[in-house]
């Protein structure tokens, strides 16, 4: 069957977008200083790589990323670039998973969705970030593709062994999500809830006993049992290293649920119900607008896949708006289905299948061009220019790489005058430990949580935090004497966004350059080093 020129053009554009997506994810991947979460998981990955030590802690999530990245360390070394390599690969590979959906979202929809995934400020930023969330997005999309292909097999004539293949890959995707981060259980619960609603809507409960005796139903039950067992076996292998360790699986599950229920209860990182909506509106405006319009359009059209994606987007937004663990990377969960809906809907607009009024259609296209231009600008500015500007709400906390590089350079320079990386280092108090776990991972003689009021403080290198309540560096400097030199640096800065500041957020200075009229909060750190006199 000949391929028309329009299809060839779409294929070429799709290939170019994929190339751009991977380039943007790998370009200067290690330029940004590790976020404190990256530093923590990077250190634990290094411990697994170097010492073979790993123990599941729900505060730092599941084993998948640690074991996968430790293999990357084995081939490329334990560097920031190597740490962020897999997030970049998985973030780019998401675009390829759109191909099996082209029958449902259209060829134009595939290209437009790919464009949004490739250049999305949110997806691009977290594809360059050593956390679990971009992996979760990849496996969520993979599970969706498997479900769609399995459903195609059900609708086809005869029986296809491919149904088992898609069930198995879907099981791998779900189990991998559970081995990445605990919100996988939320994802599974939302899927089950939708299936229950769909079961009721289609009234499949009528004549259920008769249906169960049907050969096709028995095959479905057998396949469902295979899927559940596959998920459990893979989950068990991830967490226990055994094929079917029920006790180990139960312990991991309860540990995860109890920890995160406690975090929600104490509102460790609480925030308002609308927390994620301004983030999506600021960074992903065309996705938000056309995604919501698409939800209503496809619901009226009774498109089951799109109805599920609309439910998926809204259910995720509601759940994470309620949960009192408000962090910007969770925005990827409702954003993923919105991207696909928006891509499909825009594809139909551009092809002339909907919005027949020429004036309304022209207005929609103009809005698309303008909002998409700002979308691209925001992404480039966030990821390659303003990546330390915490006035951008996707950047939970950050520090200037130049200042921190000078700080680390002075540690390296001083240690070479003593016993190199065997030089003793004292890190005072526990408020700054997380960030330095990674950056001091090659220093075996680090004393952590040193109390400045009681310790002798005589190491060649002493790291001290600085707070507004108590200026520890000044206290330490008085005790150390003149042989120690002092170097101040910013460890981390952040903003707490307030509802009353909304008018400021709508100003051109903020929208274009993320300029705030108030200084950020800051956790400062000071290095005291004792250079040897030659």
Asked if the structure places residue 390 within a domain, the reply is no
Lowest mean pLDDT of 83-97, 336-350, 493-507, name the range: 493-507
Give the pLDDT confidence score for residue 530 in this predicted structure.
92
Q: Do 487 and 443 belong together in one domain?
A: yes
Contact of 131 with 181, CB cutoff 8 Å: no
More confident residue, 409 or 504: 409
What is the per-residue pLDDT across 123-180, written as a single tens digit (0 to 9) for each?
999 999 999 999 999 999 999 999 999 998 887 777 788 999 999 999 999 999 999 9
Write down the residue that tokens 């967490």 correspond to: 239
Q: Do 289 and 158 belong together in one domain?
A: yes
Measured CA to CA, the distance from residue 222 to residue 476 in angstroms comes to: 69
Asked if the structure places residue 391 within a domain, the reply is no
The DSSP letter of residue 275 is T
Contact of 283 with 394, CB cutoff 8 Å: yes
Give the chain's count of helices (H) and strands (E).
23, 5
Q: Do 117 and 242 belong together in one domain?
A: yes
Cα–Cα–Cα angle for 114, 398, 498, rounded to 5 degrees? 85
Asked if the structure places residue 242 within a domain, the reply is yes
Measured CA to CA, the distance from residue 429 to residue 333 in angstroms comes to: 36
Contact of 230 with 171, CB cutoff 8 Å: yes
Write down the residue that tokens 């226990």 correspond to: 240
At 195, the pLDDT band (50, 70, 90 cuts) reads confident
Measured CA to CA, the distance from residue 524 to residue 412 in angstroms comes to: 20
Give the pLDDT confidence score for residue 209 in this predicted structure.
66
How many domains is the chain built from? 2
b/e per residue 511-521 (b: at least 16 CB within 10 A): eeebebeeebe
Q: Do 120 and 146 belong together in one domain?
A: yes
Domain-ending residue, one of 355, 384, 413: 384
Give the pLDDT confidence score for residue 416 in this predicted structure.
92
More confident residue, 270 or 514: 514
What is the per-residue pLDDT across 59-80, written as a single tens digit (0 to 9) for each?
888 899 999 999 999 999 999 9
Average confidence score pLDDT of the chain? 89
Q: Do 71 and 199 belong together in one domain?
A: yes
What is the per-residue pLDDT across 386-409, written as a single tens digit (0 to 9) for each?
888 888 899 987 777 767 788 888
Give the pLDDT confidence score for residue 142 in this predicted structure.
97
Contact of 404 with 492, CB cutoff 8 Å: no
Q: Are strands 446-450 and 485-494 parallel, antiparallel or unpaired?
A: unpaired
**DSSP string covering 67-107:** HHHHHHHHHH-S-HHHHHHHHHHHHHHGGGGGGGGHHHH-H
Give the pLDDT confidence score for residue 490 in this predicted structure.
67
- Give the Å distances, CA to CA, from 487 to 127, 434, 530: 33, 20, 11
C-alpha 80: how far from its chain's center?
A: 17
Sequence-distant (6+) residues with CB within 8 A of 336 are: 137, 140, 141, 312
**Rounded to 5 degrees, what are φ and ψ at 238?**
-60, -45
Domain-ending residue, one of 333, 358, 384: 384
Q: How many CA atoms lie within 13 A of 412 on its CB side?
A: 9
For 202-331, where are the alpha helices, taking DSSP H only? 208-213, 215-240, 246-266, 276-283, 285-301, 304-322
With a pLDDT cut of 90, the percent of the chain lying above it is 56
CA neighbor of 137 nearest in space, from 105, 190, 85, 95 = 95
Asked if the structure places residue 210 within a domain, the reply is yes
- Give the Å distances, CA to CA, from 172 to 140, 160, 228: 11, 20, 11
Contact of 20 with 118, CB cutoff 8 Å: yes
Q: Which phi-psi region, left, alpha or beta, contains residue 352 (left: φ > 0; alpha: ψ -120 to 50)? A: left
Give the pLDDT confidence score for residue 497 in this predicted structure.
76
Asked if the structure places residue 485 within a domain, the reply is yes
Measured CA to CA, the distance from residue 205 to residue 226 in angstroms comes to: 23
Q: What is the mean pLDDT of residues 462-491?
A: 83
Question: Strand, helix or coil at 529?
Answer: strand
Asked if the structure places residue 394 within a domain, the reply is no
b/e per residue 405-417 (b: at least 16 CB within 10 A): eebbebbeebbee
What is the per-residue pLDDT across 287-325, written as a single tens digit (0 to 9) for each?
999 999 999 999 999 999 999 999 999 999 999 999 888
What is the per-residue pLDDT across 11-53, written as a single tens digit (0 to 9) for each?
999 999 999 999 999 999 998 888 888 988 999 999 999 999 8
Contact of 21 with 117, CB cutoff 8 Å: yes
Measured CA to CA, the distance from residue 64 to residue 239 in angstroms comes to: 9
Structural domain that includes position 181: 5-384
Q: Do 299 and 433 belong together in one domain?
A: no
Give the pLDDT confidence score for residue 139 in this predicted structure.
97
pLDDT at 204 over 70: no
**Rounded to 5 degrees, what are φ and ψ at 461?**
-130, 125
Asked if the structure places residue 534 within a domain, the reply is no
Q: Do 226 and 288 belong together in one domain?
A: yes
Q: Do 271 and 323 belong together in one domain?
A: yes
Measured CA to CA, the distance from residue 167 to residue 183 in angstroms comes to: 21
What is the per-residue pLDDT across 408-463, written as a single tens digit (0 to 9) for each?
889 999 999 999 999 999 998 666 677 788 999 999 999 988 888 778 888 999 99
Lowest mean pLDDT of 16-25, 350-359, 468-477, name the range: 468-477
**Rounded to 5 degrees, what are φ and ψ at 389?**
-90, 100
More confident residue, 22 or 196: 22
Asked if the structure places residue 393 within a domain, the reply is no
Q: Do 368 and 445 belong together in one domain?
A: no
Q: Do 380 and 479 belong together in one domain?
A: no
Q: Do 211 and 337 belong together in one domain?
A: yes
Q: Do 115 and 170 belong together in one domain?
A: yes
What is the per-residue pLDDT across 364-377, written as a single tens digit (0 to 9) for each?
999 999 999 999 99
């Amino acid at each position: 069957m000949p391929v028309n020129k329009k299809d060839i053009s779409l294929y070429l554009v799709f290939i170019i977008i994929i190339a751009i997506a991977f380039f943007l994810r790998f370009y200067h991947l290690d330029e940004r200083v590790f976020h404190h979460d990256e530093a923590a998981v990077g250190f634990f990955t290094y411990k697994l790589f170097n010492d073979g030590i790993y123990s599941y802690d729900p505060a730092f999530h599941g084993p998948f990323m640690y074991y996968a990245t430790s293999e990357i360390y084995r081939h490329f070394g334990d560097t920031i670039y190597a740490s962020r390599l897999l997030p970049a690969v998985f973030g780019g590979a998401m675009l390829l998973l759109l191909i099996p959906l082209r029958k449902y979202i259209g060829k134009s929809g595939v290209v437009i969705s790919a464009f949004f995934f490739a250049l999305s400020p949110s997806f691009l930023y977290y594809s360059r970030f050593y956390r679990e969330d971009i992996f979760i997005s990849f496996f969520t999309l993979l599970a969706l593709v498997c479900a769609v292909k399995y459903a195609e097999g059900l609708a086809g004539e005869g029986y296809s062994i491919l149904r088992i293949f898609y069930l198995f890959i879907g099981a791998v995707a779900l189990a991998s999500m559970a081995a990445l981060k605990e919100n996988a259980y939320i994802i599974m619960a939302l899927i089950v809830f939708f299936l229950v609603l769909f079961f009721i809507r289609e009234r499949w409960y009528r004549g259920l006993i008769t249906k169960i005796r049907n050969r096709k139903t028995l095959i479905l039950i057998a396949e469902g049992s295979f899927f559940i067992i596959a998920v459990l076996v893979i989950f068990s292998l991830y967490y226990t290293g055994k094929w079917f360790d029920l006790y180990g699986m139960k312990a991991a599950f309860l540990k995860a649920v109890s920890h995160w229920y406690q975090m929600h209860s104490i509102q460790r990182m609480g925030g308002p119900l609308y927390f994620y909506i301004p983030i999506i509106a600021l960074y992903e405006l065309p996705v938000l607008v056309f995604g919501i319009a698409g939800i209503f359009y496809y619901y009226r059209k009774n498109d089951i896949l799109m109805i599920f994606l609309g439910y998926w987007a809204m259910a995720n937004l509601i759940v994470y708006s309620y949960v009192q663990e408000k962090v910007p990377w969770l925005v990827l969960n409702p954003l993923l289905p919105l991207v696909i809906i928006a891509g499909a809907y825009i594809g139909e607009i551009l092809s002339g299948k909907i919005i027949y009024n020429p004036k309304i259609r022209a207005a929609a296209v103009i809005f698309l061009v303008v909002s998409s231009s700002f979308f691209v600008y925001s992404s480039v500015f966030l990821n390659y220019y303003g990546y330390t500007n915490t006035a951008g709400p996707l950047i939970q906390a950050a520090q200037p790489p130049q200042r921190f590089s000078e700080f680390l350079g002075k540690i390296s320079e001083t240690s070479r005058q003593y016993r190199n990386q065997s030089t003793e280092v004292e890190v005072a108090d526990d408020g700054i430990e997380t960030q330095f776990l990674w950056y001091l991972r090659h220093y075996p003689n680090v004393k952590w949580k040193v109390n400045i009021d009681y310790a002798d403080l005589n190491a060649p290198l002493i790291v001290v935090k600085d707070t507004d309540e108590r200026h520890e560096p000044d206290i330490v400097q008085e005790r150390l004497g003149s042989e120690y030199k002092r170097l101040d640096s910013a460890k981390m800065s952040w903003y707490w966004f307030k509802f009353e500041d909304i008018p400021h957020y709508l100003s051109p200075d903020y929208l274009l350059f993320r300029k705030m009229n108030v200084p950020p909060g800051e956790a400062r750190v000071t290095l005291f080093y004792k250079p040897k006199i030659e």
